[in-house]
Chain A
Amino acid sequence: MIAYSIRRLLQGIPTVLGVLFVFFFIFFMVNDPDKMARGANGGDKASAQAIEEWKAEKGYNLPLFFNLKAPGFKAKCTETRFFSFYSKMLTFQFGKADTDDELIIDKIKKGAGPSLALTVPIFLIGLFISISISLVVALFMNTYVDRFALVLCVLGMSVVVFLYIIGGQYIMGKMLRWFAISGWSEDHKFHFLFLPVLVGVIDSLSRRIRLYRTIMVNEVNSDYMRTARAKGVGDSSLLFKHLLKNSMIPILTGVVMSIPYLFTGALLLEAFFGIPGLGKLTINAIINNDFATLSAMVFIGSLLYVVFNLITDLSYTLVDPRVKLQ
């Protein structure tokens, strides 16, 4: 198992390098650094000199892959945007943001707390509710309960997330005055987090329930369930011992693979509810053309993705004894 894990992690290295190259390609080979410079120096009014100085400071005026002017072969290869970008990322020395002078790593550390405080409750509560509801729905398969739940799911899936956010803010915040509409304070986290968590759970619910219901209905129709029922196994034991355990395998894939997204934050929820997390950091980076911050976020995201991809495979051995890792 350890050998397997090490081999899988080694296989993840080219993936991460590839992710970095995709970003390098998009931002330096398709995009023009002048555009980023203009964005960081006050829009179209920025003088040519300011742009050049900014590019020199950030190292964005270096050649892409090969520096012919530098002395010596080593310098020819290292004094390039490609090398500096990769060395920065791979050593986790993200440096300063393009738009202000704060260190990116500090920003990420600061944003991780609020982000996790938002995404982890959404994830856990949403998972619990959706699995319980889909168990009930699977129990009442092909009855009106099932039909009604399916209709609700399709209706819920068709609503824009904005509507949940704006509706929640309007009804719970403005009309009923139960919770703050938006904002953040370290001391009164619950007060500010309740509404975004509620909205996030409701938004994820219908999609999850429909997926889990499909998985469980497949299991309900299988032979071992019929045998168990014929033997006279009780409902609760049927649900929890047989159905839930067996449908955990496909459910687990999706669940573990969505954990990396907990760390990258919820973009829209954070932006709308004014939570200073990683999602808001990313949105600001997008709006301000901040390549340095964006690539740091993407790099961390892809690292987590590779790791959790491995964890997904390892977790199969826990829930399914038939799976053997090679």
Chain B
Amino acid sequence: MISTLPLLAAETVTSPLTLWRSFALIALLVLFLLERFLSNRSADSGEGFSFEWLRPTFLVLLGLLVLNALTQDSRRAWPMLPPHIWQNIIAFLVLALFGYGLSKVFLHPFWGRRVRSIFRRPFVLISILLTVFFAGTALIDSISWIDNHDPDGEKQIALQAQQPRSILDRLFSAAVGVPEWEFREKSHSAPLASTQFQKEEVTLKHKHLLGTTIDGRDTFYQVLKGCKPAVIVGTLPLIISIPLALLFGVMGGYFGGRIDDFVVYVYSTLASIPSLLLLFAIIMALGNGIFQVCVGLGVAGWVGLCRLSRGETLKLRELEYVQAAKCLGTSNAKIILRHIIPNLMHIVIITAILAFTGLVLSEAVLSYLGIGLDNSWGGLINNSRNEIARQPAIWWNLVFASTALFLLVLAVNVIGDALRDALDPRVSVGD
């Protein structure tokens, strides 16, 4: 048994990522994060079972994964990795960071109790499950690898099969029985129709659960594919705007004087530009693309949180424990990190969750102006907005894309509302 371990490790490093292996990795990651909860719970109830062994095992496997990602299907050196490998690494990092943050909050003696209290409400539970479904689809759509290298064209492999395919693609094609690029028709077809929409005599090759788009792509597949851009456009701008807002807001509120004047000047200047116009200006200047759009959204969207955190810092600065820390000679940086920022976190979390919905919705507006992301629900809605005027109307693309968008935004709104009530210090939460 022990002698096979190095072999197993060597195989994991050298062999390409496969479907079951990537699932095993995700499962391990999730287990690793659950371990924190489980070990905490079992310690509470006095049961002796420990999950400590998961942590080193997981770390070893994560290391193997990174090595794996670096070595397989890439013939280039380290910084020039193909984009899909970077995406894999980022996807795993995001999952790990998110899970770590979540476990921090859940295990916190005060906030944890409050956050756990929202699980008791059935609607919130459903919303959380929905959000997990969308986020999970986005996650498995972000992890991809190439099966077949055929640079010389000798083996006659389809071009699409040489592209990196995500877990979602693989699962989808396994479910429908053909590769996902062959699961398409010539043009529109209604949900579960057996003939094409316009020319009735043309029989379809496959059954499409939610119909097909104008170029014959399966609508269900497109809707699933839309999860990833939605999650990206909802979170990436926040990664830019939250640190920016906290930096300026806390600095201004804590130090006051000239610094505060400067901060107030900066945010009142930015606030007096209509935010959509600022966003368009930034995107016009930086160009199209997922990263540029997210930078634009982030820079145009940090003013509200900055104002909130400055106001809250002004209040916190005068509190006794901050004054006491100051008297004891604690440095400003330490006071900010220990006393100010943790006490701003509930505002940050709620603002971030509500900003997420605004960002996802604004992506649809951007798609209308031709600067949206690829494969997004906004793009699908935008492409199908004229089709509704046909006789008879082609409704399924519009309806299903906007339903997906609606469900995600609704679920996150419900969670945000519940969290706002739960984190409000004025309301007491029974346990």
Enumerate chain A interface residues (CB-CB to B < 8 A): 14-16, 18-19, 22-23, 26-27, 30-31, 154-155, 157-163, 166, 170, 174, 261, 264, 267-268, 271, 282-283, 286-287, 289, 294, 297-298, 301-302, 305-306, 309
A160 interface neighbour in B265, B405, B413, B414, Cβ under 8 Å: B405
B281 interface neighbour in A23, A163, A174, Cβ under 8 Å: A23
Give the CA-CA distance A14 to B262 in the complex, in Å. Answer: 11
- In the bound complex, do residue B272 and residue A306 qualify as a contact, i.e. CB atoms below 8 Å apart? yes
| A74 smallest CB distance to B (angstroms) | 29
- In the bound complex, do residue A286 and residue B284 qualify as a contact, i.e. CB atoms below 8 Å apart? yes
- The 10 lowest CB-CB distance pairs between A and B, nearest first, are A18-B269, A31-B285, A305-B272, A158-B410, A158-B409, A302-B272, A30-B285, A286-B280, A26-B285, A160-B364
- In the bound complex, do residue B417 and residue A154 qualify as a contact, i.e. CB atoms below 8 Å apart? yes
Interface string of B398-409 (1 = CB under 8 A from A): 100010011001
Known contacts A157-B413, A287-B370: A298-B277 contact under CB 8 Å = yes
- Residue pairs across A and B with CB atoms within 8 Å: the count is 103
Give the CA-CA distance A109 to B203 in the complex, in Å. Answer: 56
- B336 within 8 Å of A (CB atoms): no
- B79 within 8 Å of A (CB atoms): no
Q: Which residues of B contact A261 (CB under 8 A)?
A: 274
Interface string of B269-292 (1 = CB under 8 A from A): 111111011101110111000000
- In the bound complex, do residue B402 and residue A162 qualify as a contact, i.e. CB atoms below 8 Å apart? yes
- In the bound complex, do residue B368 and residue A268 qualify as a contact, i.e. CB atoms below 8 Å apart? yes
| B46 smallest CB distance to A (angstroms) | 41
Give the CA-CA distance A262 to B385 in the complex, in Å. Answer: 27
Q: Which residues of B contact A306 (CB under 8 A)?
A: 272
Q: Which residues of B contact A23 (CB under 8 A)?
A: 273, 281
- B369 within 8 Å of A (CB atoms): yes
- In the bound complex, do residue A302 and residue B273 qualify as a contact, i.e. CB atoms below 8 Å apart? yes
- Nearest CB in chain A to that of B123: its residue: A151
| B284 smallest CB distance to A (angstroms) | 6
| B408 smallest CB distance to A (angstroms) | 8
Q: Which residues of B contact A305 (CB under 8 A)?
A: 271-272
Give the CA-CA distance A282 to B382 in the complex, in Å. Answer: 20
Enumerate chain B interface residues (CB-CB to A < 8 A): 265-266, 268-274, 276-278, 280-282, 284-286, 357, 361, 364-365, 368-370, 378, 381-382, 385, 388-389, 393, 398, 402, 405-406, 409-410, 413-414, 417
Known contacts A160-B381, A298-B277: A27-B364 contact under CB 8 Å = no
Give the CA-CA distance A174 to B395 in the complex, in Å. Answer: 14
Known contacts A26-B285, A158-B357, A160-B406: A19-B368 contact under CB 8 Å = no
- In the bound complex, do residue A162 and residue B281 qualify as a contact, i.e. CB atoms below 8 Å apart? no
| A–B complex contacts, Cβ < 8 Å, 24 sampled | A15-B265, A16-B272, A18-B266, A26-B285, A27-B284, A30-B285, A30-B286, A31-B284, A162-B364, A163-B402, A163-B406, A267-B276, A268-B368, A271-B368, A286-B280, A286-B284, A286-B369, A287-B369, A294-B280, A298-B274, A298-B277, A305-B271, A305-B272, A309-B272
Give the CA-CA distance A26 to B389 in the complex, in Å. Answer: 39
B265 interface neighbour in A14, A163, A294, Cβ under 8 Å: A14
| A268 smallest CB distance to B (angstroms) | 6
Given contacts A161-B365, A261-B274, A301-B272, 16 further A-B contacts (CB under 8 A): A18-B269, A30-B286, A160-B361, A160-B406, A162-B385, A163-B402, A166-B385, A170-B388, A170-B393, A267-B276, A282-B277, A286-B284, A289-B284, A301-B273, A301-B274, A302-B273
Known contacts A26-B281, A160-B405, A287-B370: A298-B273 contact under CB 8 Å = yes
- Nearest CB in chain B to that of A261: its residue: B274
Give the CA-CA distance A166 to B286 in the complex, in Å. Answer: 31
Give the CA-CA distance A251 to B370 in the complex, in Å. Answer: 36
